[in-house]
């Protein structure tokens, strides 16, 4: 075990909020704490949280080794329940001068993250950032494609100020390096093979869904929003339903499109957000996972479905390209037609799905969170603060246009 250090993490989102970034950041923070380090979080205060003096750090209940500082934030448009943090340079400077972290990890690119990077660089604290969300891709999904270039330029400028930018796949690392990111570093994602496992498959839950052991439960897990390309999943299900009339589409998650989806598809079952043990039970009780998103930076739920023994159909990028082997764990596809064809093929071949279920679960056993925590620890511990000249170059080489 390495000598205990103090690491700081700045993030716009953290559990009990349910999204991929929040859960990933929590796992990274937990991993550092379990390796004997002290971790201090900085994040916006959510509406449901008890007030305490602004900027005051406190131990995080039920998370040994973690403390958090709640700062001011504003509601994030189109994402109910989430906030982006407002700049908090004064609070951060005061805290870090008294209790200096060995390194800082900034998980989100908002005003709070920007103030954290700037403050750390002023104090000579090594900084790593994480690229968790492709905001430039989201612009297109929300009809703002003309702003995609500006969003990418902002992301590049923001991350180039850091000593490293952590990304979840080798593919994304190489793509960003070709487009002017100076220090992209691949840090693998993990899945807990105890929490997500075929052992959570629940016959009683399936009965509540109106399904027997031999009926087909097609599942979607994630946010119900425009950027998830949900119309394709519906088309694929309707196509396979012609061949498997015993199939039912189970939706696990919530979001702004839920009401419209329910109204248009009264035969679908919407289970809402699932947390704790309920989430792995819902996933493992499915037979086929359709993941139509084209805008994920990674897609943690792909690993969770595979670990749960659920064959998956997804596009050939992110987590699927990194870990899902077509014909062995489900199907990686390149276009909409391939997505629909793969869904039909798997829905109508019970023997293949059973084989792929076992293979997918076995493949995820090697992606243990302890390995990721060790790599994250080593990366933060190896960072050095940039010199004034390096900071000037990183800020001016690719200005926001």
Note the pLDDT tens digit of each residue in 99-119.
999 999 999 888 999 999 999
Q: Is the pLDDT of residue 61 over 60?
A: yes
61 shares its domain with 141: yes
Distances (CA, A) of 6 to 179, 229, 293, 340: 33, 41, 37, 49
pLDDT digits (tens, 9 = 90+) for 225-248: 988 999 999 999 999 999 999 999
Helix (H, G, I), strand (E, B) or coil at 106: strand
168 within 8 A of 188, measured Cβ to Cβ: yes
Query: Any idea which of 50-54, 100-104, 109-113, 200-204 has the lowest mean pLDDT?
Result: 50-54
389 confidence band (pLDDT: 50, 70, 90) = very low
Please tell me the distance from the alpha carbon of residue 318 to that of residue 370, in angstroms, as a whole number.
Answer: 21
Q: Determine, yes or no, domain membership for 264.
A: yes
Q: Is the pLDDT of residue 393 over 70?
A: no
Q: Is the pLDDT of residue 14 over 60?
A: yes
Average pLDDT on 74-89 reads 76
Across-strand partners of 57? 69
Please tell me the distance from the alpha carbon of residue 131 to that of residue 171, in angstroms, as a whole number.
Answer: 13
365 confidence band (pLDDT: 50, 70, 90) = confident
168 shares its domain with 202: no
**pLDDT of 146:** 67
Q: Determine, yes or no, domain membership for 401.
A: no
156 shares its domain with 300: no
Domain boundaries, position 47: 6-190+369-396
41 shares its domain with 149: yes
Q: Determine, yes or no, domain membership for 140.
A: yes
209 shares its domain with 62: no
Q: Is the pLDDT of residue 361 over 50?
A: yes
Instruction: Express as a percent the part of the chain with pLDDT over 90.
Output: 66
214 shares its domain with 337: yes
Average pLDDT, the chain: 89
249 shares its domain with 274: yes
Q: Which of 65, 73, 59 is closest to 7 using CA atoms?
A: 65
361 shares its domain with 244: yes
Please tell me the distance from the alpha carbon of residue 181 to that of residue 159, in angstroms, as a whole number.
Answer: 7
109 shares its domain with 163: yes
350: CATH: 3.40.50.2000
Average pLDDT on 339-356 reads 98
**pLDDT of 386:** 62
135 shares its domain with 284: no
Q: Is the pLDDT of residue 24 over 60?
A: yes
Q: Is the pLDDT of residue 394 over 70?
A: no
Give the number of domains in the chain. 2
pTM for the whole thing? 0.77
**pLDDT of 396:** 39
**pLDDT of 395:** 40
Distances (CA, A) of 214 to 217, 305, 350: 9, 19, 9
Torsion of CA 88, 89, 94, 97, to 10 degrees: 130
Give residues with Cβ within 8 angstroms of 324, minimum separation 6. 302, 306, 312, 314, 330, 331, 332, 360
Angle at 240 between CA 236 and CA 244, to 5 degrees: 155
Angle at 52 between CA 46 and CA 55, to 5 degrees: 85
* Residue 170 DSSP class: H
Q: Is the pLDDT of residue 142 over 80?
A: no
Q: Is the pLDDT of residue 47 over 80?
A: no
Helix (H, G, I), strand (E, B) or coil at 78: coil
**pLDDT of 398:** 35
Average pLDDT on 259-280 reads 96
């Amino acid at each position: 075990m390495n000598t205990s250090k103090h690491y700081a993490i700045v993030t716009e989102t953290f559990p009990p909020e349910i999204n991929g970034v929040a859960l990933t950041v929590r796992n990274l923070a937990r991993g550092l704490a379990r390796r004997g380090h002290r971790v201090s979080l900085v994040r916006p205060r959510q509406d449901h949280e008890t007030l305490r003096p602004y900027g005051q750090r406190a131990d995080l209940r039920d998370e040994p080794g973690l403390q958090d500082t709640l700062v001011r934030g504003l509601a994030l448009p189109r994402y109910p329940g989430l906030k982006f943090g407002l700049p908090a340079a004064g609070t951060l400077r005061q805290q870090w001068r008294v209790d200096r972290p060995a390194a800082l990890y900034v998980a989100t690119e908002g005003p709070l993250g920007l103030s954290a990077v700037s403050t750390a660089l002023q104090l000579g604290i090594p900084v790593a950032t994480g690229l968790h969300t492709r905001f430039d891709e989201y612009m297109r999904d929300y009809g703002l494609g003309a702003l995609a270039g500006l969003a990418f330029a902002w992301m590049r400028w923001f991350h180039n100020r850091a000593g490293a930018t952590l990304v979840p796949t080798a593919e994304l690392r190489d793509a960003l390096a070709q487009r002017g990111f100076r220090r992209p570093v691949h840090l693998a994602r993990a899945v807990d093979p105890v929490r997500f496992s075929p052992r959570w498959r629940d016959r009683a839950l399936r009965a509540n869904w109106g399904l027997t052991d031999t009926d087909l439960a097609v599942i979607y897990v994630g946010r119900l929003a425009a950027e998830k390309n949900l119309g394709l999943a519906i088309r694929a299900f309707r196509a396979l339903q012609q061949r498997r009339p015993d199939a039912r589409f189970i939706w696990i998650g919530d979001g702004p499109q839920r009401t419209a989806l329910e109204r248009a598809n009264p035969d679908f079952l919407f289970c809402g957000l699932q947390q704790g043990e309920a989430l792995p039970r819902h996933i493992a009780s499915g037979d086929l996972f359709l993941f139509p998103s084209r805008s994920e930076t990674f897609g943690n739920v792909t690993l969770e479905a595979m670990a749960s023994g659920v064959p998956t159909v997804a596009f050939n990028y992110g987590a699927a390209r990194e870990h899902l082997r077509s014909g062995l764990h489900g199907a990686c596809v390149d276009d909409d037609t391939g997505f629909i064809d793969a869904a039909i093929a798997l829905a109508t071949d019970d023997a293949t799905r059973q084989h792929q279920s076992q293979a997918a679960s076995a493949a995820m056993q090697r992606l243990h969170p302890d390995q990721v925590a060790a790599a994250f620890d080593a990366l933060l511990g190896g960072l050095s603060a940039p010199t004034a000249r390096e900071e000037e170059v990183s800020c001016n080489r690719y200005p926001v246009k």
